[in-house]
Amino acid sequence: MVIHLWLACATPPEGPPATTGTPTTPEAVVAMDPARVAIRASLDLRGVRPSIEEFDRVAADPAAVDELVEEWLHDLRFGSRMADLWSEVYLTRSEAAYYVGPDDYGLYDVSGADFLHSVGDQPLRMLARIADEDRPWTELVTADWTLADPLLGQIWPLEREEGDGWTEARWTDARPDAGVLSSNTLWWRYTSTDSNANRKRANQISRIFLCEDYLVRPIEFDRALDLLDEEAVLTALQTNPACLNCHASLDPLAGYLYGFWYYDYYSVADLTEYHPERELQWGDQTGVPPGYFGSPGFTLKDLGRQLAADNRFAECAVEQATHLLLGRDLVLDDTGRLVQHREAFIQGGATLRALVRSVIASPEYRAGDVDDAVSVPWKLASADLLASQIEDLTGFRWTTDGYDLLQSADVGFRTLAGGADGYYATKGATLPNATLVLTHERLAEAAAAYVAATDLALDPTERRLLVDVDAAETSGSAPSSVRQLQTLHLRLFGKRVAETDPEVVELAALYDDVFAIQQDPTSAWAAVVSALLRDPDLLLY
């Protein structure tokens, strides 16, 4: 649901903070347990669960959660996490989307996985940097810089600072600077046919930056219109009220994008460079010059500035952040809170950090289980989060031929794991489903086998997860084994369980059962850890 905060726009940025609008939390909502707030925020901001020391801080003083949130907001992983969250909006990390690969550039030693990683992530890395460095959100569409890794530096017309990872770069062809709008990635991902005349691209700009998807508006179809008559369609587009409802503003937006007009989507020569000589091609395609909801413009740079100056641009960031962090669609009752988040965002210099801080502090984000069946505010871990938290806990990353199996939809299981690729699934799952549970099960088994084998071969001080167990111990109920089971509960779920807790007793019995068959502590611990990693608490947070 799209909610506009037009009234809020009247509040000047330097006006009084966050008192506009009535918070709309239902009375029945109880606050979430602080340990769970910590898990939720840590996963959202860092992609990993809190450490045992962090859980200890929260246990000693529930208010420590807010200090931790502040630390995590400045964690090195913050920008990347924001990129992961917004990947669901941009939908550029999809191998199905791109027509060309490394072979087309003659790079036979570059894998498809690496190519996809560079191309698909390019605009999202810009978003990550803007988030990390507290740059204003408007730089997304106005920046005169871009980012490139060595591969993109090699294949695209870019002058790039030295370095291994993503470094600042400038386009060296004649393309206008307009942040992510200048990136090849967006226009490789969102293509146009002749008759489409960049309208899909225009709609994606509106969807991504203004939260307005034209395709959700009603279309009243004029049955008298002969869709096979090209002339008649062109006339209808500019005169028929049923078409003008959308096309009056959509087609001018499309007019800005002809520098990225490609004739051959399989030709890297055509796709790589910007084409200033094609900028006026709108004249042949639709005859509708570039313009932004009634204001004229000429280049992509104008479009970037017009977007950045539009109130809907900030409102859209607020809607997206709230939606992505709450893990649910927004409803009318959220309006008051959105106004508060918008104020916090603007007071904070339009930085994503200020906006995310506001959402994480909100009662909606920290709502505990509701007393009746209204809604249990659990969020489903995305495929990215499943991968990053398991890697942090166990050291295991699920890969084949350089493909991260939880990130790839073609080679791996991203879609099966509930992830969106933009082609087969445009929205991430919000509830567990059969394929997600199967993927989770296989991941848990592989990660558990991995961590049991690596940890038990190491000195306890160097281990990752099985820090308490004595590698020579063969009983699940021995003191070191029981202590280990308790520590596992704390590390994984933030729960302190007694030695006699049924969970501990049953896992000790599982250990003994497996040991009786395998006669091997590594296999027995692999079974125990696998059972724990399959817990729904790892999926829902």
Contact residues for ligand HEC, defined by CB under 6 A: 193, 195-196, 199-200, 203, 214-215, 217, 219, 221-222, 225, 233, 236-237, 240, 242-243, 245-247, 250
Beta strand 291-292 with 167-171: parallel, antiparallel or unpaired?
Answer: unpaired
Residue 247 or residue 341: which is nearer to ligand HEC going by CB? Answer: 247
Residue 6 or residue 221: which is nearer to ligand HEC going by CB? Answer: 221
Residue 203 or residue 351: which is nearer to ligand HEC going by CB? Answer: 203
- Work out how close the CB of 192 gets to ligand HEC at its nearest, in angstroms, rounded to a whole number: 8
Half-sphere exposure of 393 (CA within 13 A, CB side): 30
Q: Which two tokens stand for residue 181?
A: 């709008």
Q: By CB neighbour count within 10 A (0-12 exposed, 13-18 middle, 19+ buried), where does 295 fall?
A: exposed
- Work out how close the CB of 202 gets to ligand HEC at its nearest, in angstroms, rounded to a whole number: 7
Q: Which two tokens stand for residue 124?
A: 């999202």
Residue 108 or residue 221: which is nearer to ligand HEC going by CB? Answer: 221
Query: Residue 352: what are its φ and ψ, rounded to 5°?
Result: -65, -35
Residue 111 or residue 191: which is nearer to ligand HEC going by CB? Answer: 191
Q: Which residues have C-beta within 8 Å of that of residue 202, sequence separation ≥ 6? A: 250, 251, 253, 254, 256, 257
Residue 186 or residue 429: which is nearer to ligand HEC going by CB? Answer: 186
- Interior CA angle at 391 toward 390 and 396, to 5°? 105
- Work out how close the CB of 232 gets to ligand HEC at its nearest, in angstroms, rounded to a whole number: 8
- Work out how close the CB of 83 gets to ligand HEC at its nearest, in angstroms, rounded to a whole number: 24
Q: Which two tokens stand for residue 118?
A: 């560079």
Angle at which helices 434-456 and 383-394 pack, to 10 degrees? 20
Residue 199 or residue 341: which is nearer to ligand HEC going by CB? Answer: 199
Residue 82 or residue 243: which is nearer to ligand HEC going by CB? Answer: 243
- Work out how close the CB of 30 gets to ligand HEC at its nearest, in angstroms, rounded to a whole number: 42
Residue 235 or residue 430: which is nearer to ligand HEC going by CB? Answer: 235
Residue 251 or residue 319: which is nearer to ligand HEC going by CB? Answer: 251
* Cβ atoms within 10 Å of 528's Cβ, excluding its own: 24
Report which of 478, 480, 446 is spatially closest to residue 466, judged by C-alpha positions.
480
- Work out how close the CB of 194 gets to ligand HEC at its nearest, in angstroms, rounded to a whole number: 8
Amino acid occupying residue 232: A
Question: Which letter, b or e, does each residue of 457-483 get, where b requires 16 or more Cβ atoms within 10 Å of its Cβ?
Answer: eeeeeebbbbbbbebebeebeeeebbb
The total number of residues written for the chain in this structure: 541
- Work out how close the CB of 14 gets to ligand HEC at its nearest, in angstroms, rounded to a whole number: 38
Q: Which two tokens stand for residue 541?
A: 């947070």
**Rounded CA separation 380/386 (Å):** 10
Residue 288 or residue 416: which is nearer to ligand HEC going by CB? Answer: 288
- Work out how close the CB of 233 gets to ligand HEC at its nearest, in angstroms, rounded to a whole number: 5
Half-sphere exposure of 156 (CA within 13 A, CB side): 28
Three-state secondary-structure class, residue 156: coil
**Rounded CA separation 206/292 (Å):** 11
E-strand stretches of 330-416:
399-400, 403-404
Residue with tokens 């203004």: 210
- Work out how close the CB of 85 gets to ligand HEC at its nearest, in angstroms, rounded to a whole number: 24
Residue 51 or residue 426: which is nearer to ligand HEC going by CB? Answer: 426
- Work out how close the CB of 234 gets to ligand HEC at its nearest, in angstroms, rounded to a whole number: 8
Instruction: Confirm if 237 and 243 have CB atoms less than 8 A apart.
Output: yes
- Work out how close the CB of 182 gets to ligand HEC at its nearest, in angstroms, rounded to a whole number: 21
- Work out how close the CB of 206 gets to ligand HEC at its nearest, in angstroms, rounded to a whole number: 8
Segment (H or E) for 146: strand 146-148
Residue 233 or residue 505: which is nearer to ligand HEC going by CB? Answer: 233
DSSP 22-69: -----TTPPBPPHHHHHHHHHHHHHSSPPPHHHHHHHHH-TTHHHHHH
Amino acid occupying residue 28: A
Residue with tokens 């929260």: 58
- Work out how close the CB of 116 gets to ligand HEC at its nearest, in angstroms, rounded to a whole number: 23
**Rounded CA separation 450/522 (Å):** 10
**Rounded CA separation 365/371 (Å):** 17
Residue 217 CA: distances (Å) to CA of 14, 288, 328, 397: 35, 22, 21, 42
